[in-house]
Amino acid sequence: MSSSRASTWNKLGDAAYSKSEKVSADLVALTYGSFVREIIKDYEEPDQVNKELEKLGYNIGIRLIEDFLAKSGIGNCSSFEESAEIISRVAFKMFLGIRATVSNWNSEYNSCSIVFDENPLAEYVELPPEYTHSLLYSNILCGVIRGALEMVQIIVECQFVKDQLRGDDTNEIKIRFKEMLQEQVPWNDEE
């Protein structure tokens, strides 16, 4: 990935971030926190909670993509590599106000990691011992990425592999490219 393109996207992310309306980070952190607490009350099993958070993220992602395309002015991406870079440099900056980077590309270039050090969602959070290794607190982000990419015909699998709330040094989401959906003829019954 050329560094000039990377810096263009960084600038795009910064520009989109400065144009956006801001909300209080505390409000987001506390709202999300009470959200997760309610879901834990409803579902109890950490695996179920993780799945639910991902599903919620998916529903956000399918709408967020339109907002993202509108605010950033980005058109179609030419490759999965480009999509991953844009997600981390532009989208993370625009919506979360943090700079993320892409690393750990595998040899076929269909799997990578998005790494970020600050997580505004987990600002005041400490996980109790029974959840530290099972609850993926910010799993909503994985759902958002999956939902947003699905709307532009890219199917991926997203998973948290490192989480600062678990004691890791950084946060890392692994994205695995599964397939690119082709344009399908919607109905061919009457026509």
Q: Contact positions toward another protein, by CB under 8 A?
A: 62-63, 65-67, 69-70, 74-76, 78, 151-153, 183, 185-187, 190-191
Signed CA dihedral, 89, 92, 93, 94: sign only: positive
**At closest approach, how far in Å is the CB of 38 from another protein?**
18
**At closest approach, how far in Å is the CB of 66 from another protein?**
4
If the CB atoms of residues 63 and 178 are measured against another protein, the closer one turns out to be: 63
**At closest approach, how far in Å is the CB of 67 from another protein?**
6
Burial 131-157 (b: 16+ CB within 10 A, else e): beeebbbbbbbbbbbbbbbbeeebebe
If the CB atoms of residues 40 and 74 are measured against another protein, the closer one turns out to be: 74
If the CB atoms of residues 74 and 127 are measured against another protein, the closer one turns out to be: 74
Separation of alpha carbons 113 and 104, rounded Å: 6
Signed CA dihedral, 123, 129, 133, 137: sign only: negative
C-alpha distances (whole Å) from 128 to each of 131, 139, 160, 165 are: 6, 17, 19, 10
If the CB atoms of residues 24 and 78 are measured against another protein, the closer one turns out to be: 78
**At closest approach, how far in Å is the CB of 182 from another protein?**
11
If the CB atoms of residues 74 and 98 are measured against another protein, the closer one turns out to be: 74
| Closest C-alpha to 80, from 151, 149, 182 | 149
**At closest approach, how far in Å is the CB of 147 from another protein?**
11
Phi, psi of 119 (to 5 degrees): -130, 100
